[in-house]
Amino acid sequence: MELESSRDDLMYEQYRMDSRNTSDMNLISIYFEDVQGLSDELAKQLWMVLQRSMVTVRRDPTMLVSVVRIIEREEKIDRKMVDRKKQTGFIPPGRPKQWKDKMFQVLEGTVSTRIEGTQSVTREEDKMWLVRLLEITRKYVLDDLIVVKNLMVQCFPPHYDTFNRFFGLYHNAVSSRVKELASEELEANEIVSLLTWVLNTYTSAEMMGHPELSSECDINLLEPLLPQDVVGDLLSKYLKTVTSNITGWLRKALETDKKDWQRESEPEADQDGYYQTTLPAIVFQMFEQNLQVAAQINGEFREQVLKLCLKQMNSFLHRYKEEAVNYKEEHLRDRQLPPCYVHYMIAIINNCQTFKESISSLKRKYSPSSEQTDFDAAIERTLNEVAKEGCQFLLDEVFLDLENHLTELLTRKWLTGCHAVDTICVTVEDYFNDFNKIKKPFNQEMTSEALRRVVVEYIKAIIERYLLNYYTQCTAHKHKPHRRYISHKQFLLPP
């Protein structure tokens, strides 16, 4: 420093005496040519200390203080030389050094290197690589900023605003890193991990909002780590993946349930004794898992995933309805198969009520809004259709067994004491012992419908016997039947 000062003073005096005498100026430069090398070497040592500032401030803070003082002194000389140049036009070689600016550049590079070096493993080595990387980053940033607050600030002049400067450096470094991560081909679970960390963890008390830091800065003034359009792209990519996954899971769940329909043993019953299959539990466990993951990101995204689940549920129920019809048609081809057709059809009907209850529960839990979605009415309608058709299929089964006995009503055989009515009563009672395993309100509707259909059969029998008798009399007396009796089907109620 002394040599440099002497060189600069001599050069200045020579410039004042004869600014055009370049030979003497060159002679001075040659004589002091090693001074610049010493200055450069000193700068290297300074930058080395600054690059290790987080370690240095813990072990030997006085060294860091000395570095800052040297830089401050050079900064003061820079200002003096710049001011003198404005007055005289002369400035020594190598001035202004701008070591203060260089210091901040070194510190910025140190912080960036610190953040970039947090990745210890790759996806190929560990599926949880991103979670580990983000956790290491969180720990490094928090630990370093606490060190800055408690130790580093004391080594720099107050006007440096050291803490906020470092706070900004770490924020920018982390922002650059997560932008790089967002640009990679992330898997669905990795997108959730990244967005949860960016949108929640980063500003929480576990990181930038830590109590030790909150007194020094306002996290609400921080710029977002990721631009909104990047966040939107990641969410869209995640939703696309989840849609595909849910579609596949629902298809697989239905195929598994269909296999159960062929079993020789009755389906399981719930705590109230109603038949059921595992399908509703599997479906809503899947929805629940996806909604829990979405809730980690934010409430708005959770609502989007809920709507997606309801949309998928609506499509799924149409397939469920088709498979229930196919199940009935398969049974009609051989009424001995499947062996537990009636019991599993009851379970299908009960599943509809379980689906309704589960959807209501899901909406209460994950949606603060009580407004109806676009799919609510469609889902309700389809579930009612599946349940009512299932009840109709079961009643068809009953009346197929009663068909021969119903034809005996009001015949001579019936009048002379056949057992048709007794058989009808016993058969209906036997079926309804199973139908008691149907949940409300469908069991009540089914009972009313069964009664209606029995009454219809009696009315049909009465009308048919009356018409048959009337035709017989007309034929015996060679009378033409009255035209109002010609189409006797108009008297019959629909089956």
Q: What is the pLDDT of residue 473?
A: 62
- Pairs from 232-235 (Cβ < 8 Å, separation ≥ 24): 234/182, 234/186, 234/191, 234/194, 234/195, 235/191, 235/195, 235/297, 235/301, 235/304
Task: Give the C-alpha separation, 201 to 197, whole Å.
Answer: 5
**DSSP, residue by residue, 300-334:** HHHHHHHHHHHHHHHHHHHHHHHHHHHHHHHHHH-
Who contacts 39 (Cβ-Cβ below 8 Å, separation ≥6)?
A: 4, 94, 97
Who contacts 113 (Cβ-Cβ below 8 Å, separation ≥6)?
A: none
CB 88 within 8 A of CB 14: no
CB 118 within 8 A of CB 137: yes
Nearest by Cα to 388 from 444, 454, 436, 453: 444
DSSP letter at 224 equals P
DSSP letter at 480 equals P
Q: What is the pLDDT of residue 28?
A: 57
Q: What is the pLDDT of residue 490?
A: 42
| Per-residue pLDDT of the chain in tens (495 residues, 90 and over written 9) | 566 666 556 665 555 666 556 666 666 565 566 667 777 788 899 999 999 999 999 999 999 999 999 999 888 888 887 787 677 766 677 678 889 999 999 999 999 999 998 877 788 888 899 999 999 999 999 999 999 999 999 999 999 999 999 999 999 999 999 999 999 999 999 999 999 999 999 999 999 999 999 888 888 888 999 999 999 999 999 999 999 999 999 999 999 999 999 999 999 999 999 999 999 999 999 999 999 999 999 999 999 999 999 999 999 999 999 999 999 999 999 999 999 999 999 999 999 999 999 999 999 999 887 777 778 999 999 999 999 999 999 999 888 887 777 676 666 666 666 677 777 788 788 888 888 999 988 888 888 888 888 888 778 877 776 666 656 666 665 555 555 444 444 443 333
Share of the chain above pLDDT 90, in %: 59
Q: What is the pLDDT of residue 291?
A: 95
Q: What is the pLDDT of residue 95?
A: 74
Residue 104 Cα distances to 68, 74, 134, 163, angstroms: 11, 15, 26, 13
Main-chain phi, psi angles of 406, to 5 degrees: -70, -30
Q: What is the pLDDT of residue 485?
A: 46
Return the residue matching tokens 């008390």. Answer: 205
Q: What is the pLDDT of residue 390?
A: 95
Q: What is the pLDDT of residue 172?
A: 95
Task: Give the C-alpha separation, 224 to 474, whole Å.
Answer: 95
Task: Give the C-alpha separation, 3 to 281, whole Å.
Answer: 84
Task: Give the C-alpha separation, 2 to 59, whole Å.
Answer: 30
